[in-house]
Amino acid sequence: MPRARARAKTKARAGEAGDAKEKYREMSVAEFFAKNKELAGFANPTRALYQTVRELVENALDATDTHGILPEILVEIRERPDLATGESRASKYTVTVEDNGIGVPATEIANAFGKVLYSSKYVIRQTRGMYGLGVKAAVLYGQATTGQPVEVVSAPMGSPYVYMKKLYIDMKRNEPVILEEAQWRRRGRWHGTRVSITLQGDWSRARSRIVEYIQRTAVIAPYATITLITPDGVVYHYPRTTRKMPRPPREAKPHPHGVDVEQLKMIIMNTKAETLKDMLVMEFQSVGEKTAADFLREAGFDASMNPKKLLEKGNGKRLAALADKLRAYPRFRAPRSDYLSPIGEDLIRIGLRRMFSPEWVGAVTRSPRAYEGHPFIVEAGIAYGGAIKPRDEPLLLRYANKIPLLYEEREDVAWKVVSRINWKLYGVDFPAPLVVLVHIASTKVPYKGVGKESISEVPEIESEIRAAVQEVARGLRVYLSRKRREAEVKRRIVTIAKYIPEVARSLAILAKPPEKWSPPKPGEERPIVESLVRIVARNIEIPPVDGERSDPEQVVRSVIENVKVE
Amino acid sequence: MPRARARAKTKARAGEAGDAKEKYREMSVAEFFAKNKELAGFANPTRALYQTVRELVENALDATDTHGILPEILVEIRERPDLATGESRASKYTVTVEDNGIGVPATEIANAFGKVLYSSKYVIRQTRGMYGLGVKAAVLYGQATTGQPVEVVSAPMGSPYVYMKKLYIDMKRNEPVILEEAQWRRRGRWHGTRVSITLQGDWSRARSRIVEYIQRTAVIAPYATITLITPDGVVYHYPRTTRKMPRPPREAKPHPHGVDVEQLKMIIMNTKAETLKDMLVMEFQSVGEKTAADFLREAGFDASMNPKKLLEKGNGKRLAALADKLRAYPRFRAPRSDYLSPIGEDLIRIGLRRMFSPEWVGAVTRSPRAYEGHPFIVEAGIAYGGAIKPRDEPLLLRYANKIPLLYEEREDVAWKVVSRINWKLYGVDFPAPLVVLVHIASTKVPYKGVGKESISEVPEIESEIRAAVQEVARGLRVYLSRKRREAEVKRRIVTIAKYIPEVARSLAILAKPPEKWSPPKPGEERPIVESLVRIVARNIEIPPVDGERSDPEQVVRSVIENVKVE
């Protein structure tokens, strides 16, 4: 191969740039996210305030509905003039979020809030939190901008005590440092967690996003009671409108289609199974005895082999081959989706009705699908007309695992799909009063960044979103075309019916012998009007509205009463 | 405040969801990026192959031009049928990148390639790498998809030895595990590093992006010799076209406008200064003795105070106030930009000419600016016409710290600016053969994600990009309008000049007495043509091309010779 090198000619001019030695060092993951705040969504005081509210609310919801508890969540943002230095338009705020969830065990509080990458979210389950990062990023931002610690009060469910800790994160070591702690016997029945983070923020710029975030959370979780108290003293209160809750998600085992060499190694290291076959059945979902045996035979592995042997030196290629074959085998059952927790068509309709008072609403929960071994369910809802203001494009509400996503809309797979749908085919002409909701539930949502704002273009997810939105849109088309036909029929009824009184009057006169022709007495033409109404009503068809058929004679009669002939 | 709570009413249905206890655990940062591969740009085999090439090439460039060495880089992608299991359309590949850089010291090789967040990039300096993450993410992806270790051969500059290590990353502990190592005396003069990573990839889909990446790297670094050998056996060879190199970037101290409480704490902990004033002067850039004294007086701090006192308990608010005031003080000098390394207008023009053979090229390097204490320089280049194919919108080449950015174009601040420019004002009507290059050099590029594909909309950067592109575009407008005027003049010259021979002929005849009227002899009309040419040339104005004025008589003469009268 023609490797063009001219090393001898290249003069090292390293001296000019100073030293040719680099200084290497390790950085803790806490320091990493503290130095690169924008990666976790803390790019500036506006985003930081929004992101802090989000992370705390999402933890609060994960601590409640994920465990079957109807959520009661209080969010309070208070300005802290006592911390102000008057140096910047961004002030200091304390964000407090309180929930009625399961609480954090006393022994876990310090790490759960004071150690980056320490979390209860590292299992295969559909939760809002995924990275075990968000709240700690907020704590880091808070201490970097105000020097204030996070304060956590937790009453774990079933515990007779309430615990309080104030702590900050030692950035160099990624360890919590406790400044103050206390515990007391619980009075009353409250269980849950209250977290306060003090940070630099810009409320005037973050206000609209935070309010929108809370509203959209209320749309998707109408079974939650959420209260937001703003620094302006305004209270946004969303009481629950239903006690119906989606079934909670459950923890799952990994699916063989999602496993890579490293995960397989980990599974083999930790398994108690003594044969490869038992390991497949015990450690994976969707693998039965027979499937395991069939797979191993076809893949050329001995079913009775001790899996630990694959970890021995020299077996690297065998291990890699096993992982490859597990990913590719077509006859494992699909990933379990009954462990997922979609919102459900009813709750989507309830949420959309409550927030938008539309004239029409539709929703669909699609059947489960999977990508790379991760199950997912797409849901879509559409609200149309009523109190919705017409816009030049659909108002898109994006959700992932019941979290509203507000930023980076144009980069999201849902926007890509919704903006490319030819809405004319569904009877929608823009500007139109159209709201589209898309929800993706999965044990692994493929976010583009740890800030969790937009979702990658995974082909399987993209096509499910398209199918879901189109399915609901077809319902909208039926409604809109019926509405148009109704308007058409009404126009026709008006055209015909408006002459009925006049015709009836003439007939009432003509029906008498000529010598008695004279203006009819009041009520004299009534029987003639009635028979004309019956004739017209027999000859028109009035489409049903919301499944109910109207009485055609009533319709004609009301037109006659309300229409004046010009 | 009306806190609407109804705790007593909320029945805990936790039992239904199984346990109300969560399992908490710690995750190493290696495991984190292994589980969330998409965050670092390794979303699928196509992206992974591209990202691996990128990370290795960027390290290679950082090891050369950053230290004043003219880069010689060899990239080889080899298919590995020996590792294939025939289970997937994605095959296994070994990516090898060799450079002639400063090398990695023997003692650092294991950590530099086998420990996430261990790096030489954690200083304030303009380098391509920023997060100390990329190559390790590639190593993790490689071992997870093929079980193969990374192989590193390094000949550190000045060392008599060459070192080789094969290693993988222990994901649980985030530690390198060395499988094989060797060292030998160096023969020849090579110094540098050669890294081989074996991973699952999809060459057929990644091909165009990888080739584009290498081409665009060659555009921005025409002083580098880069060779790419593809699995198809195709060799792309870009020899350097200049030995001129941008001045290498230098390491800087932090600027007070960019400091937060945590960084200030760290600085105080590590400083040898015994007074606040000395600390400001020694540990920060752009702070002189007088400024330090003025600042401390205005901020209400005692200049002779021992800074360590601020770390004592109870001084948290003072510390936070000092950080606030440092960020806000308007009279520190701007961040040092002479430590940055822009490409320079010449190299941009050379690069664009080489790659696009345009008819016009322009470039500008703007003056340094700063955002949040980070200095940055924006450069822009435009190539127009020639071999460039017309397109419906500008072809945008984005660069940050000399890295080409290919994905997520629509999310990038540069796209936002370039797509909103009204190009008609600059004489460009689409479709047009227009290439726009934008380069941002900074000690901290505000990427949107660790995959380094798009840049956030920092207002200061946005307005600099706009100013830079408009500045070059004004040059283009001058060129295009001159071109149009030239064409106009030419048309006029043609209109007049094409009749000169005929007129000259007639005059040659008429000039003689009537009895001598006869066809002129060859050459007889020449003096007449010449005086006509002089008359015409005196009365037209020919705009200068590329600063050079043409001789109008020459122009008219050439028109006469080349134009036939129909």
Q: Residues 84 to 103 of B: which have CB under 8 A from any A CB? A: 85, 87-88, 100, 102
ipTM over 0.90: no
Q: Taking residues A315-327, report their average pLDDT.
A: 90
Give the pLDDT confidence score for residue B530 in this predicted structure. 76
Distances B298 to A145, A310, B293, B433 between C-alpha atoms, Å:
21, 69, 9, 56
Q: What are A167-209's pLDDT values in tens digits?
A: 999 999 999 999 999 999 998 899 999 999 999 999 999 999 9
Burial B526-562 (b: 16+ CB within 10 A, else e): eebbeebbeebbeeeebeeeeeeeeebeebbbebbee
Q: Which amino acid is at B439?
A: H
When mean pLDDT is compared across A79-93, A245-259, A271-285, A386-400, the lowest value belongs to A79-93
Kindly indicate the confidence band of residue A11, based on its pLDDT and cuts at 50, 70 and 90: very low
Q: Do A261 and B146 touch (CB under 8 A)?
A: yes
Give the pLDDT confidence score for residue B545 in this predicted structure. 55
Q: What are A256-315's pLDDT values in tens digits?
A: 988 899 999 999 999 999 999 999 999 999 899 999 999 999 999 999 999 999 999 888
Q: Do B32 and A29 touch (CB under 8 A)?
A: yes
Binning chain B into helix, strand and coil, the percentages to the nearest 5 are 40, 20, 40
Residue B447: closest CA among A449, A25, A473: A449
Cβ(B565)–Cβ(B499) below 8 Å: yes
Q: Do A70 and B408 touch (CB under 8 A)?
A: no
Give A-chain residues touching B328 at CB under 8 angstroms: 85, 87-88
**Is the alpha carbon torsion for A65, A66, A69, A72 positive or negative?**
negative
Give the pLDDT confidence score for residue A10 in this predicted structure. 38
Q: Taking residues A392-406, report their average pLDDT.
A: 95
Give the pLDDT confidence score for residue A530 in this predicted structure. 76
Give the pLDDT confidence score for residue A13 in this predicted structure. 38
Q: Residues 521 to 560 of B: which have CB under 8 A from any A CB? A: none
Neighbour tally for B304: CB within 10 Å: 11
Question: Is residue A492 predicted with pLDDT exceeding 50?
Answer: yes
Q: Could you read off the pLDDT tens digit of each residue along chain B, which spans 566 residues? A: 344 444 333 333 333 344 567 889 999 999 999 988 888 889 889 999 999 999 999 999 999 999 999 999 999 999 998 888 766 667 999 999 999 999 999 999 999 999 999 988 888 888 898 888 899 999 999 999 999 999 999 999 999 999 999 999 999 999 999 999 999 999 889 999 999 999 999 999 999 999 999 999 998 999 999 999 999 999 999 999 999 999 899 888 999 988 899 999 999 999 999 999 999 999 999 899 999 999 999 999 999 999 999 999 888 889 999 999 998 899 998 888 788 999 999 999 999 998 899 999 999 999 988 888 889 999 999 999 999 999 999 999 999 999 999 988 888 999 999 999 999 999 999 999 999 999 999 999 999 888 899 998 888 999 999 999 999 999 999 999 988 887 887 777 777 666 666 666 666 666 666 677 677 677 776 777 777 777 777 766 666 655 566 777 777 777 777 665 54
Give the pLDDT confidence score for residue B8 in this predicted structure. 34
Chain A interface, best mutation among B262, B371, B407, B442, by max A CB count within 10 A: B262
Q: How far apart are CA A461 and CA A459, in angstroms?
A: 5
Cβ(B104)–Cβ(B156) below 8 Å: yes
- State phi, psi for A378 to the nearest 5 degrees: -105, 135
Give the pLDDT confidence score for residue B202 in this predicted structure. 93
The structure tokens 């109008």 sit at B552
Kindly indicate the confidence band of residue A8, based on its pLDDT and cuts at 50, 70 and 90: very low
Calculate the CA B144 to chain-centre distance.
Answer: 30
Give A-chain residues touching B191 at CB under 8 angstroms: 12
Cβ(B372)–Cβ(A145) below 8 Å: no
Please tell me if residue A565 touches chain B, with a CB cutoff of 8 Å. Answer: no
Give A-chain residues touching B415 at CB under 8 angstroms: none
Give the pLDDT confidence score for residue A1 in this predicted structure. 39
A256 HSE (CA, 13 A, CB side): 27
Q: Which two tokens stand for residue B378?
A: 């924006």
Q: Do B324 and A266 touch (CB under 8 A)?
A: no
Candidate from B111, B146, B227 with C-beta closest to A24: B111
Cβ(B143)–Cβ(A320) below 8 Å: no
Neighbour tally for A468: CB within 10 Å: 26
Q: Do A158 and B24 touch (CB under 8 A)?
A: no
Give A401→chain B minimum CA distance, Å: 17
Candidate from A67, A229, A237 with C-beta closest to B14: A67
Q: Which amino acid is at B107?
A: T
Q: Do B119 and A83 touch (CB under 8 A)?
A: no
Give the pLDDT confidence score for residue B428 in this predicted structure. 95
Residues contacting B316, CB < 8 A, separation 6+: A147, A148
A488-A491-A493-A498 Cα dihedral, nearest 10 degrees: 180
Distances A143 to A69, A88, A131, A148 between C-alpha atoms, Å:
32, 17, 21, 5
Residue A165: closest CA among A176, A147, A181, A150: A181
Question: Is residue A61 predicted with pLDDT exceeding 50?
Answer: yes
Give B-chain residues touching A13 at CB under 8 angstroms: 67-70, 245
Give B-chain residues touching A135 at CB under 8 angstroms: none
Pair type for strands A72-79 and B192-201:
unpaired
Chain A interface, best mutation among B92, B448, B452, by max A CB count within 10 A: B448
Candidate from A8, A132, A263 with C-beta closest to B189: A8
Please tell me if residue B108 touches chain A, with a CB cutoff of 8 Å. Answer: yes
Query: SS3 for B249?
Result: coil
Chain A interface, best mutation among B9, B11, B24, by max A CB count within 10 A: B24
Please tell me if residue A66 touches chain B, with a CB cutoff of 8 Å. Answer: yes
Q: Do A10 and B263 touch (CB under 8 A)?
A: no
Pair type for strands A395-400 and A434-442:
parallel
Start-to-end C-alpha separation, chain B: 94
Q: What are A221-254's pLDDT values in tens digits?
A: 999 999 999 999 999 999 999 999 998 998 889 9
Candidate from A111, A147, A410 with C-beta closest to B261: A147
Distances A265 to A277, A312, B95, B207, B536 between C-alpha atoms, Å:
16, 11, 24, 31, 88
